[in-house]
Structure 1
Amino acid sequence: MSFRRGIRQDDFREALEALAQQDGWWRDVLADPSLIIGVRDEYLNVYWQGQSIFKVSFKGGKVTATTHEKYLLNPDLKDQISLVDGTFAFGKAEQRMLTREYEGAMTLDKLKRAASLYSGREKEGVHEIATSNLSVVDVEIAINASGVPGVERNLPRMDLANFETTANGLDLVFWEAKTFSNPELENGDIVGQIADYQKVIDLHKTEIDDSYRCVAKNLADMAKWSNGHRNVAAAIGAVADGAKLNVSSANVGLLVYDFTAVQRDRKDDDGKTLKHRVIESLTKVGVGRERIKFKGTPRGLTI
């Protein structure tokens, strides 16, 4: 199966629910709605600004969590380390790692600060959009493009997925996010990228539908376990309860942000702005104008 999402093991879900009632890292994650929980295939990624600070799995009947060692590097380090005769004097440096033991929300805050060092404007914007739109169900979405004619197997990940209430019911909408300065907007590569997403979604509609039904149930459960700290949009609750979800390759959009009014209004020799050119090119591959959003800042960008 090329696309699969969801925590389907009853034992795993029950263990997560039990862990949520105990003091510790999982309870702190659930209590922090600024963290995004990405539901994968029988594991979770906990994201801060595009960086997975926890991978949560179920092994040997227990919930286990891992993090990359780079996120344990103390973000408060200030000292210079001497290079003497070709050797760095690590022994004279202050404590380099955050802690050996998880010490509550303070440790979680330091992990977030450390992870921020590896982020960038695009991922920061995606995080802002995802945490301010309760209908978002997923981030960093990889779909295997193997076997799809004309599509590179290593297709870049889509940035966001959300449930949208429309006149025809509930749509699953995928969004690609770019800063205004991203060269893929100027050189037109974004058109091919979105066209490839459309082809892959067409091929895997059934798997995608099944996956996001399970994800909706998982997210609704986590909201219940969070003691009121997390909420899901009514659309997610409806899908969790069995409402029809429309999956279509037509529902792929583009979000562009991080620009000034001067940049927005700058025209080329033909008198067209970048926004005009992008909209013109994307509508040719079937992207609706309502699925192309430009906003100077990601704050308040509604999807």
Structure 2
Amino acid sequence: MTVNGGMFRMIFRRGIRNESFLKALEALAQQDSWWRDVLADNSLIIGIRDEYLNVYWQGQSIFRVSFKAGTVTASTHQKYLLNPGIKGQISLIGGSFDLSKAAETMLTRDYEGVTTLERLKKAAALYSGREKEGVHEIAISNPTIVDVEIAINAAAVSDVLRKLPRMDVASFEKADTGVDLVFWEAKTFSNPELETGEVVKQVKEYRAVIAAHHADIAESYSCVAKNLLDMGKWSNGSRPIAQTTRDVAAGAKINVTGTTIGLLVYDFTADQRDREDKDGNTLRKKLEKLFEQNELGIDRFRFKGTAKGLAL
């Protein structure tokens, strides 16, 4: 929050600017460490926040990485430490479960390389869902994507009911003048918000908060691009960096407007895609009409039966 003319202004901020933090991350990447394993696993998504990182697996943050007292620190939710491969029965004796034999195998207690990382991913997947799984699949297959789970504070923005609207994906697109930052809303075909038209209200809210924070958003993702380029180098090529990200890191202008919002719809069969309502409209046609009526544009609609291979 900053003060401008005596008024408080909520800001949007992304990026690691602390040089000591960056140097510590680079050094840790050269060591036999969980961080080197994360960088080498390009199925994991690194979300760059305001001086900290979230490492995502299917929408679940399995690591929160920060810098405290000159040291890189990581934490995870305790639920991800439950061993997803545990087997056997636990006896219920006199109202208490006998954990004496299971105590040593129920929890992940030590980080032991990629085996532990895979166990954390399996545990996190239990808390995901089809929509989050799809977003993850799209994000790891489109190197132009630079962020996921993008929450923007809307407390000071009028006509926005949700005070922390959250967009699913952000990507860079080559433009005639610099690079466009495009936000995407992702929905499975069965999501009722598509049928009811609620998604139109969501996109309107996104446009409002983007307009209110466009300068902060542009500055933030300029820093994010530089951070991602660094992490690509630290990963020894395991994390591909799109040319648009390289361009922004080198100083290309980022264009941020409320009109650069797209809609991703996936997880449907051919029959579902072609099914018409009583007015002869498929779901896609209905959404296109709604977006046109609300002057939201339809040039960034993406419909695909499976999230895998869905290109932006």
- Normalising by structure 2, we get a TM-score of 0.94
Q: Which amino acid aligns with 1:289?
A: I
Residues 1:93 and 2:93 aligned together = no
Give the match for residue 215 of structure 1: 224
Give the match for residue 279 of structure 2: 270
Shift of 1:96: 4.0
Give the match for residue 134 of structure 1: 143
CA offsets 1:163-209 (integer angstroms, 9 cap, x no match): 01133431000000000000100111111011000000000000000
Write the mapping of 1:180-219 to structure 2, written as runs, cut at 5 A. 180-219=189-228
Partner of 1:64, secondary structure, is strand
% of aligned pairs identical?
A: 64
Give the match for residue 37 of structure 1: 46
CA distance in 1, matches of 2:24, 2:309: 36
> Which of the numbers 82, 88, 94 marks the counterpart of 1:79?
88
Give the match for residue 23 of structure 1: 32
Deviates more, 1:1-10 or 1:136-145: 1-10
Is the 1:79–1:94 contact (alpha carbons within 8 Å) kept by the matching residues of 2? no
Residues 1:293 and 2:282 aligned together = no
> Which of the numbers 107, 114, 125 marks the counterpart of 1:116?
125
Q: Which amino acid aligns with 1:224?
A: K
Shift of 1:156: 3.4
Shift of 1:153: 4.2
Partner of 2:27, secondary structure, is helix
Partner of 1:91, secondary structure, is coil
Give the match for residue 6 of structure 2: none
Partner of 2:31, secondary structure, is coil
Q: Which amino acid aligns with 1:39?
A: I
Task: Extract unaligned runs of 5+ from structure 1.
Answer: none
CA distance in 2, matches of 1:94, 1:8: 42
Shift of 1:80: 2.5
CA distance in 2, matches of 1:279, 1:299: 23
Residues 1:243 and 2:252 aligned together = yes
Shift of 1:292: 1.2
Partner of 2:135, secondary structure, is helix
Residues 1:228 and 2:228 aligned together = no
CA distance in 2, matches of 1:174, 1:286: 17
Shift of 1:91: 2.3
- The count of aligned residue pairs is 303
Q: Which amino acid aligns with 2:76?
A: T
Q: Which amino acid aligns with 1:296?
A: G
Q: Which amino acid aligns with 1:200?
A: V
Q: Which amino acid aligns with 2:311?
A: T
Is the 1:98–1:110 contact (alpha carbons within 8 Å) kept by the matching residues of 2? no
Is the 1:72–1:111 contact (alpha carbons within 8 Å) kept by the matching residues of 2? yes
Give the match for residue 176 of structure 1: 185
Q: 1:187–1:155: structure 2 CA closer, same or farther, 3 Å change rule?
A: farther
Give the match for residue 22 of structure 2: 13
CA distance in 2, matches of 1:97, 1:41: 34
Q: Which amino acid aligns with 1:226?
A: S
Is the 1:250–1:286 contact (alpha carbons within 8 Å) kept by the matching residues of 2? no
CA distance in 2, matches of 1:140, 1:285: 25
- Normalising by structure 1, we get a TM-score of 0.97
Deviates more, 1:76-85 or 1:253-262: 76-85
CA distance in 2, matches of 1:37, 1:97: 28
Give the match for residue 161 of structure 1: 170
